[in-house]
Amino acid sequence: MKIYSIVVHPDKAKLTYTNTSTGKTERMLTIKIGDTFKIEPDNPLKLKHRGRTCKIHGFIKTNDGTKAKVIFQDNNRHGRVELEDLKVI
């Protein structure tokens, strides 16, 4: 099982992924406004926005948790993605 802990500040977010079976921190990611990321969800069945690159525009809290407001690089449209789905290019 995977545990994500997210700490959000006004201009950046820190994401930590911990594997519960080993107890080790597998990945740490600091997401700042203006950074570019690729969207690659861990769930292979989640296809929305998979493989697209985006630029972080801000953060928003929803009932489902914190999401990133992004601008997609391929068509310059705005969208929202979960912070867990972002990977460093």
pLDDT of 79 > 80? The answer is: yes
φ, ψ for residue 51, nearest 5 deg:
85, -5
Provide the β-strand partners of residue 67.
60, 82
Least reliable range by pLDDT among 50-54, 60-64, 69-73: 60-64
User: What is the extent of the structural domain holding 73?
Assistant: 2-88
Q: CATH number for the domain including 41?
A: 2.30.30
Distance CA 58, CA 27 (A): 22
Domain total for the chain? 1
Output the pLDDT for position 33. 96
Output the pLDDT for position 22. 87
Give tens-digit pLDDT for 15-46: 999 988 888 898 899 999 999 999 999 999 99
Output the pLDDT for position 76. 97
What does pTM read for this prediction? Answer: 0.88
